[in-house]
């Protein structure tokens, strides 16, 4: 059987512990009707309940929410839109996890489920908290151009450069690109990235001259 949602994962783990819904409800100090609603995907546990469930069921919050372990091993086919009750809950889960020092959350799997404005904020927050092991190049493809410069400047400030310059330059205004170029140069990057940047700066200058 394919496990497709939070409720089914709770059911699977509860039964593996030989617990009834009433047993789990008593351990969480809530009604058994709440457990039943979770398992039928009629409602979802909030962040504080997820923390307690993680402990009781000896699992991880990542597995409960998206079906992956802390080492990013997938236990099942990724779910679609049943991740959590709302995008705001998912955003709050990411921020709460980062606040508690949990950097093992798999941002690559869940960022694409956030609206663009939340995506921008969460990326910046994650970088500020030292979470850098996600694919920035994929994430920024989902960010509107108006927010792109801010995210890239924060990424550069935190030493994260795994974005494709050639892809993002065309989406930036000339003045924004010059800010980005200055930020990279001020960080003392002396690599192929710097060489590529110089080529792109020159091409943009030529483009402006020929207009």
Q: What's the whole-number mean pLDDT along residues 64-79?
A: 49
- Please report which confidence band the pLDDT of residue 170 belongs to, taking 50, 70 and 90 as the band edges: confident
Q: How far apart are the first and last CA of the chain?
A: 60
Reduce the DSSP state of residue 68 to 3 states and report it: strand
Report how far residue 123's alpha carbon sits from residue 109's, in angstroms, rounded to the nearest whole number: 13
- Please report which confidence band the pLDDT of residue 180 belongs to, taking 50, 70 and 90 as the band edges: confident
Q: Comparing C-alpha atoms, which of 114, 167, 159 is closest to residue 137?
A: 167
| pLDDT of 24 | 95
Report how far residue 11's alpha carbon sits from residue 32's, in angstroms, rounded to the nearest whole number: 13
Query: Is 127 a residue whose pLDDT tops 80?
Result: yes
| pLDDT of 23 | 94
| pLDDT of 48 | 78
Of residues 7 and 63, the one with the higher pLDDT is 7
Of residues 128 and 5, the one with the higher pLDDT is 128
Sign of CA dihedral 74, 80, 86, 92: positive
Question: pTM to 2 decimals?
Answer: 0.56
């Amino acid at each position: 059987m394919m496990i497709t949602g939070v409720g089914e994962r709770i059911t699977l783990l509860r039964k593996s512990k030989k617990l009834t819904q009433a047993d789990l409800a008593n351990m969480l100090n809530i009604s058994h009707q709440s457990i039943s609603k979770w398992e039928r995907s009629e409602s979802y546990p909030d962040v504080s309940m997820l923390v307690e469930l993680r402990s009781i069921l000896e699992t991880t919050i990542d597995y409960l929410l998206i079906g992956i372990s802390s080492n990013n091993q997938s236990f099942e086919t990724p779910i679609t839109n049943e991740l959590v009750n709302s995008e705001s809950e998912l955003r709050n889960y990411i921020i709460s996890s980062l606040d508690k020092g949990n950097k093992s959350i798999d941002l690559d799997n869940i960022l694409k489920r956030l609206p663009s404005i939340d995506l921008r904020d969460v990326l910046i927050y994650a970088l500020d908290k030292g979470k850098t092991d996600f694919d920035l190049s994929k994430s920024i493809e989902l960010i509107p151009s108006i927010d792109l410069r801010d995210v890239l400047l924060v990424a550069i400030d935190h030493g994260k450069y795994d974005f494709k310059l050639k892809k993002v330059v065309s989406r930036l205004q000339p003045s924004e690109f010059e800010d980005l170029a200055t930020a990279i140069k001020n960080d003392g990057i002396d690599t192929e990235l710097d060489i590529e940047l110089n080529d792109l700066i020159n091409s943009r200058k030529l483009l402006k001259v020929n207009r």
